[in-house]
Each structure stands twice: as C-alpha cells, then as structure tokens.
Amino acid sequence: MLYIIGLGLGDERDITLRGLDVVRRCVKIYVEAYTSLLSFGLSSDGLSKMERLYGKTITIADREMVEEKADSILSEASESDIAFLVVGDPFGATTHSDLVVRARQLGLDVQVIHNASIMNAIGLCGLQLYRYGETVSIPFFTETWEPDSFYEKIKRNNQLGLHTLCLLDIRVKEPTMESLCSTFQSIAAYSGNSLCVGVARLGCEDQKIIAGSMEDLLEIDFGPPLHCLVIAGETHPVEEEMLNFYRIK
Amino acid sequence: MLYIIGLGLGDERDITLRGLDVVRRCVKIYVEAYTSLLSFGLSSDGLSKMERLYGKTITIADREMVEEKADSILSEASESDIAFLVVGDPFGATTHSDLVVRARQLGLDVQVIHNASIMNAIGLCGLQLYRYGETVSIPFFTETWEPDSFYEKIKRNNQLGLHTLCLLDIRVKEPTMESLCSTFQSIAAYSGNSLCVGVARLGCEDQKIIAGSMEDLLEIDFGPPLHCLVIAGETHPVEEEMLNFYRIK
C-alpha cells in the first residue's frame, strides 16, 4: 500500500493523528523535498525533529529522485506499506498526481490522508474562499525573464469581482527574500491601488498577514518564504471587517 | 485566548497533534454542530468517541447557540483558554468569520489551527485545484423552491474552461439521501452530457468518488451526505488519467 500523507503547513506537529498512526506502521517513509520545504524547516534539524516525533527514519525525496526512482518506490509499495509525506495537502498547491497515477496503473492501493494547504488556509485572511476565481502561480522573475501570462487571469477574476490567490514560486536551491518584492513590483505596475493581502509563512508560528494597497505592501518586509499574495475583488462587509485586522496602520 | 481548531474531514482521529495539544489544555471545548456534522458522525456516539480521545467534555454549539451565546463564549475566552472545534478547516466551506471578528473587536487573542477542508481535499478527484473557478453552493431544493442563481456561475466557469466545485447544502435537522439526486436532476437539465465527478463523504473511510456524465451519475446511489459535485471544465491529460480511475465502468 502507498500512503500519501499531508503534513500541513507549520511543522512536524501539524500531522494528524490518523497520519501519525500510518507513519508509525509503515516500513519506509519518504518526504518530498521539492515543494514548500522552506516553510517546513526541512533543514537537517527539521528533519531530525520529525524523525524523533514520528519514531522513524525518513528519506528525503527530491524532485529528481521521485521522477527517477518512482519505479523502485512503487515496487516497495507493492510489497509493504510505504508512506510518502507531503508538505500541505497531497493535492494542494502542488500535486502528486503523477505518482498516484503510476501507482494505480500498477494496480497498487493508494490511500491519501489530507491536511491543510494554502488553498484553504488562505481563508484566514478574511476573504471568503468561495469568492476566489482561478488561482495563479507566479514564477520567480529574473533580470531577463519576467513572464506575464498570469496577469490575464488576475484581470479576468477582477472583472468578475472575484479574489485571486497568487502563489509565488520559490527557487528551491537558491531562496532569496527578494522574490516577493520583485514580483510585487511587476504586479504593482498594473494594479498599484488594488487592495491586496500579502501573506508569509501561513500556518507557521511567525506567519505575517498584511492588507493594503499593492504599492503600500511594497514597503513591507515580509521575511523568509513561503509567500503568497491575494488580490481582492469585490468585498463584502464581513470580509472588510476581517481585513481591517490586517491593514497597515 | 480563543482557539479555533479544524477537525478535518473524517473522524476524531483527523485532528492534528498541534490541535490535540491545545484541546487538552483548554478549560472549555465547544464543537460546532451546524455544518458538516453528518460526515463527522456527531451523533452522541461520535461525540463520546471524541470526548474519550481528547480527554475532555465537549459542548455542542448549534447555530442558534453560537449566535445567541457568542457573548458568553467570548467572555469565557477573555479569562481562560477556550477551544471552538470546527469540522473541516475553520475557514473552509463555511466560515466562522463572525465569531473571529467579534473576538478581535473585543481585543481577544484568536489562534486558528488549520486542517483539511473540502476546498483542498477535492483535489483527490484528479482535477487540479488551481484550475477551479468560483465555488457554488447549491441549496436544498423543495417542491416549491428550486433556486437557479448558481447556474450562471457554473456556465461562466465552463466558458472559461474552469472546473466548478458545487457544494450541496444539507438540511441539518432533516437529512435525506435524496438531496444529491434532486440537485443532479436540476443541473442535468442544463448539462446532461457534461463530465462530472460526484463525491460523497470525502475524507471518510467510505468515501465515494465517481466520474461520468451528469446523466449517468443520476443512476448512482452515493449513500449518505455530505455530497458535492464537480463539473469539469477543460481537462489536461494528467487530469484525465486520474479521472479514469473513478469513471463509471
């Protein structure tokens, strides 16, 4: 059996009791290293805290490993219980559909244990989840590459009065604190006065949520990743009341 | 301090370790009874299982109680640690914004502990979360009341090639297994040939996920609530591969 287990957003204590039960009875545990790892403290220290709490040795599986060694992971899962741990929810912002499809094509049982992801936890900012349009992913900009295909989606959501969740890409091998700022500057060129909510490390103890105009948010130091940005559409009074708690003073 | 703690989708073992820590140190525990309660087995049996596992007496707070007694709950929270348990995520399909706003207006600290909700767990059906448009809530139809305002949203998402998550309302005091069927019939009048995914009890051990045309889904007995329905927009190959595992044979 292959178990795909969401770890939630904060740290090793955000696993569910159901998830922990499964981890403790699996013979081998992998954890993805290629998405969201920064928020989860998957440094060697974060990993050893997980290993102590879960009582298991955990193997980090980076993107290359999952792609190259999927056959051997799935072969193990055909003979014993294997857990694949995923930061957030297995089908949250990033998907693990490929691994699931391959497992099922081999006739393996796959069980998913859900957890929070950015896609639902963003509700904390006060804008109601059912009033979001299509989510956009914004890649890391470089001096020579500033893709803007996401902007049409933001504009369309805005025309429909819907909020837009913008997931900001991270450079796994070379994280920098400038990603949010450079992305904001590009979007601000389009919508400097739009009401936005900047969110850093959602679900972590040091999460930061600040609402204001895009231009005002440019001045804020949000600290380390992960970052996301919500561009508000039309807001209702109860949404406004929640946002007020996060507004730049 | 007021803690608002997501319980996840399945049963009492879907709470996170972080959530359980908090519950065990709070002096009073409320659990919402007015949303999603059916999926969570909040019968007296379900409640007593929660109480045994969490080691606490739990007070059921139905909608009327939360509205009428919010002041006394908040007054308790100003003097000691109070937990308010919510099926799914606190800001998932239903929101608890009102309680949070009132607490913060009183200057109370509010801490949210996230968990899975239908809004991210629906990713399990194979359609990618970032390709959903606006979510629609479909109320329970009666012989004399069949609202159709949701249909425009479905149509708009469809025109944009986006998927639509339709949350089907439950009648809390009088649940019936016909809700899904009657709703399907109404939607089928518009889109009988659309590719859809019917989902029942997502995240529970007996969850049921079936993909097919709306008309074909009409023939399926999905069993007890909670139910939701996804109307697929344009699908990508990897989405198709996942959906194939759920197709009506």
All domains in chain A, ordered by first residue: 2-116 (3.40.1010.10), 119-244 (3.30.950.10)
CB B22 within 8 A of CB B112: no
pLDDT digits (tens, 9 = 90+) for B122-160: 999 999 999 999 999 887 666 677 677 788 898 899 999
Q: How confident is the model at residue A231 (pLDDT cuts 50, 70, 90)?
A: very high
Question: Percent of chain A having pLDDT more than 70?
Answer: 83
- 3-state SS, chain B, equals CEEEEECECCCHHHCEHHHHHHHHHCCEEEEECCCCCCCCCCCHHHHHHHHHHHCCCEEEECHHHHHHHHHHHHHHHHHCCEEEEECECCCCCCCCHHHHHHHHHCCCCEEEECCCCHHHHHHHHCCCHHHECCCEEECCCCCCCCCCCHHHHHHHHHHCCCEEEEEECCCCCCCCCCHHHHHHHHHHHHHCCCEEEEEECCCCCCCEEEEEEHHHHCCCCCCCCCEEEEECCCCCHHHHHHHHCCECC
Give the minimum alpha-carbon distance from A205 to chain B in angstroms, rounded to a whole number.
10
Model confidence at A171: pLDDT above 80: no
In this complex, the residue of B14, B134, B238 whose CB is nearest that of residue A18 is: B14
Binary contact (B97, A135; C-beta < 8 A): no
CB A31 within 8 A of CB A8: no
pLDDT recorded at residue B95: 58
pLDDT recorded at residue A30: 93
Distance of CA B249 to the CA centre of its chain: 28
pLDDT digits (tens, 9 = 90+) for A96-111: 788 888 999 999 999 9
Model confidence at A41: pLDDT above 70: no
Q: How far apart are CA A29 and CA A240, in angstroms?
A: 44
A151 sits in which H/E element:
helix A150-159
Residue of chain A whose alpha carbon sits nearest to that of B7: A16
Model confidence at A94: pLDDT above 60: no
pLDDT digits (tens, 9 = 90+) for B103-129: 999 999 999 999 999 999 999 999 999
C-alpha closest to that of B195 among B242, B238, B151, B163? B163
Give the minimum alpha-carbon distance from A121 to chain B in angstroms, rounded to a whole number.
6
Q: How far apart are CA A152 and CA A157, in angstroms?
A: 9
Q: How far apart are CA A48 and CA A67, in angstroms?
A: 25
Q: How far apart are CA A40 and CA A86, in angstroms?
A: 10
Residues 6+ apart with CB under 8 A from B55: B24
Binary contact (B242, A97; C-beta < 8 A): yes
Residue that is written with structure tokens 């409640």 in the block = B47
Size of interface A-B (CB pairs under 8 A): 165
In this complex, the residue of A10, A133, A134 whose CB is nearest that of residue B18 is: A10
pLDDT recorded at residue A235: 95
Locate A178 and state its tokens: 């400038």
Interface confidence, given as ipTM, is 0.90
Model confidence at B175: pLDDT above 50: no
Burial A28-52 (b: 16+ CB within 10 A, else e): bbbbbbbbbbbbbebeeeebebbee
pLDDT recorded at residue A99: 86
Q: How far apart are CA A115 and CA A92, in angstroms?
A: 9
Q: How far apart are CA A146 and CA A111, in angstroms?
A: 39
Binary contact (B121, A17; C-beta < 8 A): no
B137 vs A contacts (CB less than 8 Å): 130
Angle at Cα B1 formed by Cα A244 and Cα B5, nearest 5°?
Answer: 85
Higher pLDDT, B221 or B171: B221
Best B9, B11, B17 member to test A by mutation, with max A CBs in 10 Å, is: B17
pLDDT recorded at residue B177: 43
Give the minimum alpha-carbon distance from B218 to chain A in angstroms, rounded to a whole number.
26
Q: How far apart are CA A26 and CA A17, in angstroms?
A: 14
Task: List beta partners, residue B167.
Answer: B137, B228
Give the minimum alpha-carbon distance from A113 to chain B in angstroms, rounded to a whole number.
8
pLDDT recorded at residue A189: 55
Model confidence at A35: pLDDT above 60: no
Mean pLDDT in residue range A129-142:
86
Binary contact (B132, A130; C-beta < 8 A): no
Best B99, B134, B201 member to test A by mutation, with max A CBs in 10 Å, is: B134
Binary contact (A93, B129; C-beta < 8 A): yes
Q: How far apart are CA A159 and CA A153, in angstroms?
A: 10
Feature table: binding site of B: 9, 89, 92, 117-118, 168, 202, 227
Residues 6+ apart with CB under 8 A from A69: A61
- Longest CA span, chain A: 58
Model confidence at A199: pLDDT above 60: yes
Sign, CA dihedral A7-A91-B186-A236, equals: positive
Residue A92 gets which letter from DSSP?
Answer: S
- φ, ψ of residue A232 in degrees (nearest 5): -75, 140
Q: How many CB atoms lie within 10 A of CB B86?
A: 27
Residue of chain A whose alpha carbon sits nearest to that of B245: A104
CB B128 within 8 A of CB B165: no
Model confidence at A57: pLDDT above 50: yes
